[in-house]
Amino acid sequence: MAYLFTSESVSEGHPDKIADQISDALLDNFLAFDPESKVACETLVTTGQVVLAGEVKSHTYLDVQSIAREVINKIGYTKGAYQFSGDSCGVISLIHEQSQDINQGVDRASKELQGAGDQGMMFGYATNETTNYMPLALDISHKLLIALAELRREGKEIPYLRPDAKAQVTIEYSDDNIPQRIDTIVISTQHDPFNENDGVMLDQIKKDILEILIPRVKKQLPTYVQKLFNDNIKYHINPTGKFVIGGPHGDSGLTGRKIIVDTYGGKGAHGGGAFSGKDPSKVDRSAAYAARHIAKNLVAAGIADEVLVQVSYAIGVVEPTSIFVNTYGTSKVELSDGKIAKKVAQLFDMRPFAIEERLKLRNPIYLESAAYGHMGKEPKMITKVFESPYNGRIEREVELFTWEKLDYVEKVKETFALVECVEK
């Protein structure tokens, strides 16, 4: 019997995502000026206020207020009417030094013996139902909000948009887990009060979403996904009828409250640890990236159509306590999932420092991951500029989204004795 599956995304202007981006901007600045920084930064945003908290061990000093304001302005909160603006909000810093009890379990005389920054389990997931090996409902949700933000910044076709927005996509699957059609699309977007009549505003917003946003996103999608759009899709656009009050003025935002949006939209599994504001010694982040890297390369190599990888750690301990693989019965090799996991453990070094080195995680690469998902983006080289009244100005060429690279496909094929990759 066919079934429905739903995933959601939130925009860069969503309160929780503002908090994530500020936390990762602080992390990037610490790593830019001191790559060995140990950072765990949390952010709270609410009406007219930003509160920064957490623990840091670093040889650098930052103007954290200026960094937070820059992030807020770049997102688009630049007007007093929003009751939250980068130029006028208060910024309170409660950041303090990292606990020595934690640090002694992480820092070692030899970096190769670096222990995990915390206990816990982390998951990575990949599926061949999309070209970027991400769950389809989440991928479309992200694309809807990326395009909506582009329209907001362009300010031409839909001039009344404000930064806060959410999207949700429901897809019908067949019994053999093949997407059949899009059943429902939900979009809630913050907007200016451009008409005294709420009904007139809502009608205009619905018209613009259906006639401008949806066609723009549809054109970006491969043909097989475009075919899932149909005349029977149920659209819920600003279902409350009005969305003028939004952002941190409408709801407070906190770092780490969108962990499902950040990962796989409810597919696979999640260990519960957030990403943003954490340096790579925190395996909540680095091991989750490494697990995604493993899962994606396994699927791309043709090991299975769908793969979940779990890795777990004890704080201060170098080797992971377990590595688990689930292929959901889609394996193309004559090995049990347990035997696949053993080969994975031999192929991928999952010690914390080895992950940092393999994925180049001691670089300032995190702000770009803090909105529209940490997984599924295209790896690329960019030059980033960091300026500080205390440290001067530096330029760094860095590689983003290294955990999305398919650089282990041939190694996986060789390890599992596969001749060729299964094409989509």
User: Is 397 marked as a binding-site residue?
Assistant: no
243 is in an annotated binding site: yes
Q: Is 69 annotated as a binding residue?
A: no
Report whether 55 belongs to an annotated binding site.
yes
| 164 annotated as a binding-site residue | yes
Q: Based on the number of CB atoms within 10 Å of its own CB, is 111 exposed (0-12), middle (13-18) or buried (19 or more)?
A: middle
> Does the annotation list 274 as a binding residue?
yes
Q: How far apart are CA 285 and CA 277, in angstroms?
A: 10
Question: Is 126 flagged in the annotation as binding?
Answer: no
> 28 among the known binding-site residues?
no
> Binding residue per annotation — 59?
no
Tell whether residue 30 is among the known ligand binding residues.
Answer: no
- 98 among annotated binding-site residues: yes
The DSSP 8-state label assigned to residue 407 in this structure reads T
CA angle 305, 306, 307 (to 5 degrees): 130
Residue 49: strand pairing partners: 46, 90
Query: Is residue 107 part of an annotated ligand binding site?
Result: no
Helix (H) or strand (E) holding 202: helix 198-208
Question: Is 257 flagged in the annotation as binding?
Answer: yes
Contact 371, 12 (CB under 8 A): yes
CA 288 to chain centre: 11
For helices 352-359 and 283-300, give the axis angle rounded to 10 degrees. 60
Considering only CA atoms, which of 352, 355, 325 is closest in space to residue 416? 325
Note whether 290 and 347 are within 8 A (CB). no
Q: For residue 386, give the 3-state DSSP assignment.
A: strand
Report which secondary-structure segment, H or E, holds 344.
helix 337-347
**3-to-14, 170, 182, 183 alpha-carbon distances in Å:** 30, 10, 12, 11
CA-only gyration radius of the chain, Å: 22
346 is in an annotated binding site: no
Question: Under a CB-based contact definition with an 8 Å cutoff, are residues 94 and 64 in contact?
Answer: no
Residue 12 assigned ligand-binding role: no
Query: How many of the other CB atoms lie within 10 Å of CB of 263?
Result: 27
Q: Number of C-alpha atoms within 13 angstroms, CB side, residue 181?
A: 9
On whether 305 is known to bind a ligand per the annotation, the reply is no
Binding-site residues for ATP sit at 14, 164-166, 242-243, 251, 257-258, 274, 278
Annotated binding site for K(+): 42
Q: Which residues are annotated as a binding site for L-methionine?
A: 55, 98, 251, 282
Binding residues for Mg(2+): 16
* Numbered residues of the known binding site: 14, 16, 42, 55, 98, 164-166, 242-243, 251, 257-258, 274, 278, 282
